[in-house]
């Protein structure tokens, strides 16, 4: 009888020790999945993969990227939101997390997730066609002509409600110009093609989408809607903000997790993401891909997106497309 009691006590003690040891294991102890809510090979996907690789090397666990595109990124966002808040599923985010909710696509935005840090920012630029007799060599000339000739300028934009469409509307509202907007089914290539072909005198698109046509001389890079100028060799092109127009529009890319990530998980991931983003090789990589390198800690990301949300809401309300999901 005593032997049985002693044996049972030893087993129980062993189990307790095993449980204590497991509880003491520090995160992470197994591979991590990263949901990227855009297509493999797209700008957002390409830009975040080196961040995950660097973080993986720091924390000693593999991070596997799973692309979940569709619905303006809402499919991937929803899946990340449903994931268990244990640190083994993280994801990617951009300004679409604001536009989705305000357009009624999904009832979630950045405040419904655990923000872990931003690493780079895409920004739209204003371009002009080279196939015109109009003098549109500078942004000032384009604005002045559009003001003096209301309704005579065509401007190609992204699809209504999309990120760079917001940028175009912000540009129009800030400058007070009156133009005919021509939304395209997509955000980049078709907008640039309209301008390069002379079908639209102006356009708003990403630098990456317009770069080849700028280099070929078929479109002119007039200004950026970003907070700062584009990287060299385009660092001589002004921002609209520095010219006195109250307009800045960008799409900051960031890493996030499901709501309610434990503090001990956040304490591991946030510094790892910061170190990855500040790596000189990554800074060079980001700048070479037509984006502006920029690290922001979680609190700053939330503050920035709070500001962006106010701007987007006003633009969508004015355009009659505000359908904020509840």
pLDDT for 187 equals 60
The 10 Å Cβ neighbour count of residue 4 is 8
> Please, which residues have CB within 8 angstroms of residue 74's CB and are 6 or more apart in sequence?
37, 96, 100, 105, 106
Beta pairing class for 202-206 and 32-36: unpaired
Beta-carbon-side half-sphere exposure of residue 224 (alpha carbons within 13 Å): 26
List pLDDT tens digits, range 160-197.
888 899 999 999 999 999 999 999 876 678 899 999 99
Average pLDDT over residues 269-285: 97
Q: What is the mean pLDDT of residues 133-139?
A: 93
pLDDT band at 78 (very low <50, low <70, confident <90, very high): very high
Q: Kindly state the percentage of the chain with pLDDT values over 90.
A: 79
Structural domains in the chain, sorted by start: 32-121+250-319 (3.40.190.150), 124-224 (3.40.190.10)
Identify which has the larger pLDDT, 9 or 212. Answer: 212
Mean per-residue pLDDT, 200-205: 96
pLDDT exceeds 60 at position 62: yes
Collapsing DSSP states into helix, strand and coil, what is residue 31? coil
pLDDT, mean over the chain: 90
Per-residue pLDDT tens for 94-117?
999 999 999 999 999 999 999 999
Q: What pLDDT is attached to residue 40?
A: 93
Task: Give the model's confidence band at 324: pLDDT under 50 very low, under 70 low, under 90 confident, else very high.
Answer: confident
Q: What is the rounded CA–CA span in Å between residue 202 and residue 180?
A: 10
Which pLDDT tens digit goes with each residue over 146-160?
Answer: 999 999 999 999 888
Per-residue pLDDT at 72: 86
What pLDDT, on the 0 to 100 scale, is given for residue 29? 98
pLDDT of 251 over the 60 cut: yes
Give pTM, 2 decimals.
0.84
pLDDT single digits (tens) 294-321: 999 999 999 999 999 999 999 999 999 9
Length of the chain: 326
């Amino acid at each position: 009888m005593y032997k049985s009691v002693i044996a049972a006590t030893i087993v129980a003690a062993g189990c307790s020790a095993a449980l204590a040891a497991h509880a003491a294991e520090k995160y992470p102890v197994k591979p991590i999945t990263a949901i990227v809510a855009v297509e493999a090979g797209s700008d957002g996907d390409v830009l975040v993969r080196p961040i995950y690789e660097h973080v993986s090397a720091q924390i000693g666990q593999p991070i596997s990227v799973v692309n979940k595109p569709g619905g303006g990124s809402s499919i991937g966002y929803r899946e990340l939101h449903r994931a268990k808040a244990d640190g083994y599923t993280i994801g990617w985010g951009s300004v679409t997390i604001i536009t989705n909710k305000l357009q009624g696509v999904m009832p979630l935005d950045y405040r419904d997730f655990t923000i872990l840090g931003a690493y780079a920012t895409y920004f739209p630029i204003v371009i002009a066609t080279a196939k015109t007799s109009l003098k549109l060599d500078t942004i000032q000339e384009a604005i002045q002509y559009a003001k003096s000739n209301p309704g005579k300028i065509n401007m190609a934009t992204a699809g209504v409600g999309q990120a760079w469409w917001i940028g175009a509307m912000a540009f129009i509202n800030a400058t007070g110009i009156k133009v005919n907007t021509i939304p395209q089914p997509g955000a980049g290539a078709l907008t640039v093609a309209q301008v390069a072909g002379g079908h639209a005198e102006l356009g708003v698109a990403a630098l990456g989408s317009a770069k080849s046509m700028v280099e070929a001389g078929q479109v002119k890079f007039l200004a950026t809607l970003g907070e700062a100028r584009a990287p060299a060799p385009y660092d001589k092109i002004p921002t609209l903000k520095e010219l006195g127009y109250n307009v800045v529009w960008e799409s900051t890319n960031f890493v996030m997790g499901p709501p309610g990530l434990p503090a001990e998980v956040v304490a591991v991931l946030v510094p790892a993401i910061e170190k990855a983003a500040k790596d000189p090789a990554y800074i060079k990589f980001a700048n070479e891909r037509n984006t502006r390198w920029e690290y922001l800690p979680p609190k700053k990301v939330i503050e920035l997106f709070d500001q962006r949300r106010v701007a987007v809401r006003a633009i969508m309300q004015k355009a009659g497309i505000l359908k904020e999901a509840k």
